[in-house]
Amino acid sequence: MSPTIFRADGYRFFFFSREETRMHVHVVCGDGEAKFWLKPEIQLAKNIHLSRKQ
């Protein structure tokens, strides 16, 4: 189960509660997906097929 945190303009923000201990969020849309670390600061962890603007 991956609870959705937020949805906007075709993007879904969610997390996997048992994936990793470091806080992060996943973002997915029709074009691809990304993962962001939330601590110690927001940082891109992974990007698959998304442009910088997306």
The domain of 13 spans: 4-48
Look up the pTM and report it. 0.84
| Distances from the Cα of 8 to the Cα of 11, 15, 27, 28, 43, angstroms | 5, 16, 11, 11, 20
**What is the total count of domains within the chain?**
1
- pLDDT at residue 1 in the model: 64
29 in a domain, yes or no? yes
Q: Which of 22, 17, 28, 19 is nearest to 42 (CA)?
A: 22
Query: Is 36 part of a structural domain of the chain?
Result: yes
Question: Please, which pLDDT band fits residue 9 given cuts at 50, 70 and 90?
Answer: very high
Is 53 a domain residue?
A: no
Q: Is the pLDDT of residue 48 over 90?
A: yes
